[in-house]
Structure 1
């Protein structure tokens, strides 16, 4: 293979911690590993866990965000969402929720009522996607995409499918609008099949093995719950599924701007963090019970 994007590291999930009482997550970055994955600022991975039945849904109560987008991808279980702009929805397995907090939003997320009452297997990914400075104070918006509406590229010879959440895979374009160039797919590969990916050399690229295991570029093997980080050189990547596998594909054009983060705020300057706190305390993020 020519012009191969080589693996930088294959990383095990860091020790888990709870977000609220409904999400048991492994933070691959920025806390778990010091990776440059801009425009992806944070990756929380809720590996498979069994939740017992409960009448009162587990989750995260009302909290603010400013300066970025949250992307939630469901694999098992179901999550309900409400925010201060009036948007709400339920994220079922295969669905994606893309929330642009931008200038400021309040939201809450918790186990969907029926799932909570029945209990069961739960597996999710949440990403924080940074916004460029010029867009950080834009109007909040919400993109909820059911799996059935995610464009799919069908691989030849019953190899599987590539669900294109954002970006463009072999002419199949994702339906999500993004502020900077981002490629985000769910690759659902059958055992023994191969899929090729091509991203610009400068794009920060990483894969999460959601299910199964895969050989990368004919050499290294990554297993369930591991994160594959790639070098910023070369463009082509080959995946071979060693069993039926689901792999989250992430690649994006870095945002070359300073970042100042504080809790749920992701801005460019310290004074912008201070202003976010003032605006939040003055109720400018809206109202949500």
Structure 2
């Protein structure tokens, strides 16, 4: 049996740019040793956005030495980075960005989501790279919902989407540097 070390949560939010109202559910400075290799988990939404022609999100900013994993539940997010990669992810899709030796990227509501307005809900997880891989080449993986295996859990306990790693003989589509 595993020991429960605490319950972490946050009811105070903040904005990332002008498009992502988030609550940080855990952060490395608070729980680093217990959560390694995970650095941070932000939960955005659900938030309603009216129709607009303005770009809502966060402009170009740097990352280095870790990976960001963004999962969209509702709405659409457009990503563009300094390697020339990018795209739009929607409900059920995952964006796995390896910052590695350094990357500049931006994230905004997609043009179609901004035009129509609606609910945005998503999470972003930061995963630390092992020390020997922190200078790896930056990379981007767009993983669409239909690529992700969904397994029924025992005794009707729910379902698990296998995004990364291996579970019960099923392999997630994401290429990862940490187990």
Query: How many residue pairs align between the two structures?
Result: 177
Shift of 1:149: 0.5
- Alpha-carbon separation, structure 2, partners of 1:103 and 1:168: 27
Q: Is the 8 A contact 2:9 2:26 kept in 1?
A: no
**Paired residue for 1:107?**
105
Q: Is the 8 A contact 2:8 2:26 kept in 1?
A: no
Structure 1: runs of 5+ lacking an equivalent: 182-289
**1:11-160 matched pairs, under 5 angstroms:** 11-30=8-27, 34-35=30-31, 36-155=34-153, 160=158
- Alpha-carbon separation, structure 2, partners of 1:116 and 1:71: 22
SS class of match (1:10): coil
Within the candidate set 4, 8, 14, 2:5 is matched to 8
- Alpha-carbon separation, structure 1, partners of 2:64 and 2:27: 18
Shift of 1:64: 1.1
- Alpha-carbon separation, structure 2, partners of 1:14 and 1:8: 20
Q: Is the 8 A contact 1:153 1:169 kept in 2?
A: no
SS class of match (2:43): strand
- Alpha-carbon separation, structure 1, partners of 2:109 and 2:86: 13
Q: Is the 8 A contact 2:151 2:160 kept in 1?
A: yes
SS class of match (2:6): strand
Shift of 1:80: 0.3
TM-score normalised over the length of structure 1? 0.58
Shift of 1:101: 0.7
TM-score normalised over the length of structure 2? 0.91
- Alpha-carbon separation, structure 1, partners of 2:5 and 2:168: 25
Shift of 1:107: 0.7
Q: 1:8 to 1:176 in 2, by over 3 A?
A: same
- Alpha-carbon separation, structure 2, partners of 1:92 and 1:108: 16
- Alpha-carbon separation, structure 2, partners of 1:47 and 1:116: 15
SS class of match (2:5): strand
- Alpha-carbon separation, structure 2, partners of 1:12 and 1:103: 31
Shift of 1:124: 0.8
Shift of 1:156: 5.6
- Alpha-carbon separation, structure 1, partners of 2:155 and 2:38: 33
